[in-house]
Structure 1
Amino acid sequence: MSDRGLTHLDPLGRARMVDVTPKEATHRRAIARGRVTMSPETASLVARGAITKGDVLAVARVAGIQAAKRTPDLIPLCHPLLVGSVLINFRIEDSHIEVEAQVDTVDRTGVEMEAMTACSVALLTIYDMCKSVDRSMVIGEVALWEKTGGRSGPYRRDPTDTLDF
């Protein structure tokens, strides 16, 4: 927790949206990563474009982009902001697919929640597209990997953490 305390509570302990109007708009970026673990057969089907529902990664990419733009509709107290760019990348391994979501803006608050939401929804979409062949998939390890901009300064997760995108 920061030295500023719980910023989403008013002096009476009630939930509130933080006032960001006095802040200057600056360039901000956040990168989130996660993975969906699956059978090697399922990963191979995705890699070959052989899932009967269609192009899994293309649909997951669009879902992640759409999710980043809709984050304030899903996360209470999250500020609506102008999302300038969303990039969704994938890495297919033998028994999992890793998703990386990068979100950029020029605004008064960060895009960490947009990146985490984009990553999560892309992972859920992969699950949805592949569930007919593999219901044992597991989604996990969604984490903020990097953020830049804002008063708190840059953050970068230790590269020795489990995901090595």
Structure 2
Amino acid sequence: MKKRTNWRTGKPQRWLKKHSSIIFTSEEPKVSKEKKLTHVNETGAANMVDVGSKPNTERIAEAKAEVYMRGETIALIRDNSLDKGDVIATARIAGIMAAKETSKLIPLCHPLPISQVKVEIQLDEENNSVKIASIVKTSGKTGVEMEALIGASIAALTIYDMCKAVDRGMNFRVWLATKSGGQSGEFVFEPPPSK
């Protein structure tokens, strides 16, 4: 096992191989001996987890997305030449708005007092893609992974919507890149390069 430190906390990390990608953790995972889904009760019915007894801690999550398209589409976005207007600015605002509405979109997510949502978008003309990072922060009893994932996903879908008239073959992928805070500790993930 290779030793490495977390760039945010400076704590040592372990490398875990999983699905041909690398997952970084700062400590041994805290997993109950009896693994089970938290959103399903003993009868198998959907269940919103009771987080009332958990302490408030600072929690940060970052999700990333990449939207793949033709080179001509990237050029139209870069030159702000699409009929619908500024793709990057619109997708950024859509991602921020969506992250704040996560509990209304995903039935068992808790409504959270979000302290910050940041959506960063950049063109990668070399790879004919748009890269999205959605970072969400809170001080609360549960994490903001889903809020970050919703922010990145809706930003990607907004890019698709604004460009579909010229490129219906666009596609995208989205993943949780980092998460910190709470009982499960640090999580860092980088997927294998897209083919």
- Structure 1 length normalisation: TM-score? 0.92
Structure 2's unaligned 5+ residue stretches are: 1-30
Instruction: Count matched residues.
Output: 161
CA offsets per residue over residues 63-87 of structure 1, 9 Å max, x none? 0001001111111211110111111
1:16-95 paired onto structure 2 within 5 Å: 16-94=47-125, 95=128
Question: Aligned partners of 1:129 and 1:35: how far apart in 2?
Answer: 15
Give the stretch that moved more between structures: 43-52 or 4-13: 4-13
Give the stretch that moved more between structures: 10-19 or 143-152: 10-19
Question: Aligned partners of 2:187 and 2:175: how far apart in 1?
Answer: 12
2:150 is the counterpart of 1:117 = yes
The structure 1 segments of at least 4 consecutive aligned residues displaced by more than 3 Å after TM superposition are none
Question: Aligned partners of 2:44 and 2:162: how far apart in 1?
Answer: 42
Percentage identity across paired residues of the two chains: 45
| The structure with more radius of gyration | 2
Question: Aligned partners of 1:25 and 1:153: how far apart in 2?
Answer: 14
Question: Aligned partners of 1:139 and 1:7: how far apart in 2?
Answer: 28
CA offsets per residue over residues 7-29 of structure 1, 9 Å max, x none? 11222222110000001111100
| Letter of the 1:18 counterpart | V
| Letter of the 2:77 counterpart | V
Tell me which of 120, 129, 144 is aligned to 2:162.
129
Tell me which of 164, 170, 178 is aligned to 1:146.
178
Question: Aligned partners of 1:7 and 1:134: how far apart in 2?
Answer: 40
Question: Aligned partners of 1:76 and 1:109: how far apart in 2?
Answer: 15
Question: Aligned partners of 1:90 and 1:76: how far apart in 2?
Answer: 28
2:36 is the counterpart of 1:5 = yes
CA offsets per residue over residues 75-110 of structure 1, 9 Å max, x none? 121111011111111121121101110000111000
* Aligned-pair CA distance for 1:161: 3.2
Question: Aligned partners of 2:89 and 2:143: how far apart in 1?
Answer: 26
Structure 1's unaligned 5+ residue stretches are: none
Partner of 1:104: 137
Question: Aligned partners of 2:186 and 2:146: how far apart in 1?
Answer: 15
Question: Aligned partners of 1:6 and 1:128: how far apart in 2?
Answer: 34
Higher relative contact order (CA 8 A, sep 6+): 1
| Letter of the 1:148 counterpart | S
| Letter of the 2:136 counterpart | V
- Structure 2 length normalisation: TM-score? 0.78
